[in-house]
Structure 1
Amino acid sequence: MKTYRILFVCLGNICRSPMAEYVFRRLAADAGAAHRVQAASAGTSGWHNGENMHSGTLKKLRQHGIDPSGFASSQVKPGDCGRYDFLIAMDDNNLAELERLFGRRPGQIFKLTDLIPESGCNHVPDPWHTGDFDETFRLVSAGSRALLDKLSLTANCSGRS
């Protein structure tokens, strides 16, 4: 059985991408597929390297019963394209930076919202600027469920978030 390695990417790696990492892990565990995925997150900038998640992200994860422990922000590394099956960006700027670093690879590097066209959103808004951690959580959860479907890992998914 294949294990999928997934890297969620935003700008600073303290709001959106760690939220996606932890939500995706939780949904994979709920689907009985935790052993088939390795999820991580990183930022395109190194502004927050070594820091914990934003307090709004921590609060939102805890609110949904997701343990946010064990996190430290990091930056995308040159070898990440070979290390991960998917590098999933939160917005166009993150996608452009990944494509600048690794080239255009639509099957491997894409935006999370590409998986949820029905959402009407073409990016996951940055709650650092919007303050809306609820909307970020909603989109990250929907995108994570769609990713589990794409990887055919949802046989037992409860849909809980």
Structure 2
Amino acid sequence: MINVVFVCLGNICRSPMAEAVMRHKVMEKGLVEQIRIDSAGTGNWHVGKPPHEGTRKLLDGYQISYANMTARQFVSADFTEFDYIICMDNSNAENVRSLPGGEEAEIIKFMDLLPNEKLREVPDPYYTGNFEEVYELVNAGCDVLLNRIQEEHPLT
């Protein structure tokens, strides 16, 4: 089983959107039994809450499920549980790296999956309100990530 976690600040906008989109792509490829997707936040403000209304509305529009998703905080134990730790911005990556065990973890910045994009961080729609922009980045980046996982781990 390959384990992927997306990390943002509060785990209600960007990372749950990426989790839902990636789960959808994994399901479409028939890889649900081989790839597990999760998300977490570096902060604890929204623990136990569902994705943000803007994220839910956008995912509903694309018919992408976010069923049973609730916010949780990233913890040190996640370093051993997840093969891919994908952070939405530099601050998230620094916060994750500052946890015990984080200095040795391989942390991928989401926008490094999209080197041709001018943006180097996924904008936070909690502040910008632009959920569609985030979806476009997340959708493209998840395609790249899924291809990378399939190249690095031959799956059937």
Shared fold per TM-score greater than 0.5: yes
- Which aligned runs of 4 or more in structure 1 are off by greater than 2 angstroms? none
In the alignment, is the contact (CA less than 8 A) between 2:24 and 2:65 conserved in 1? no
- Name which of 54, 66, 69 aligns with 1:68: 66
1:37 corresponds to 2:35? yes
Distance 2:104 2:75 in 1: 17
Distance 1:9 1:73 in 2: 11
Distance 2:138 2:68 in 1: 20
**TM-score normalised by the chain length of structure 2:** 0.92
Amino acid across the alignment from 1:65: Q
1:82 corresponds to 2:80? yes
Amino acid across the alignment from 2:132: D
What SS does the aligned partner of 1:5 have? Answer: strand
Amino acid across the alignment from 1:40: D
Distance 2:20 2:30 in 1: 15
**Structure 2 match to 1:147:** 145
**Structure 2 match to 1:158:** none
- Name which of 11, 14, 38 aligns with 1:13: 11
Distance 1:121 1:146 in 2: 16
Amino acid across the alignment from 1:67: S
Distance 1:22 1:137 in 2: 11
TM-aligned CA deviation for residue 104 of structure 1: 4.6
Gapped regions of structure 2 (runs ≥ 5): none
Distance 2:25 2:116 in 1: 20
**Structure 2 match to 1:58:** 56
Amino acid across the alignment from 1:82: T
What SS does the aligned partner of 1:41 have? Answer: strand
1:103 corresponds to 2:132? no
Percent identical among aligned pairs is: 38
**TM-score normalised by the chain length of structure 1:** 0.89
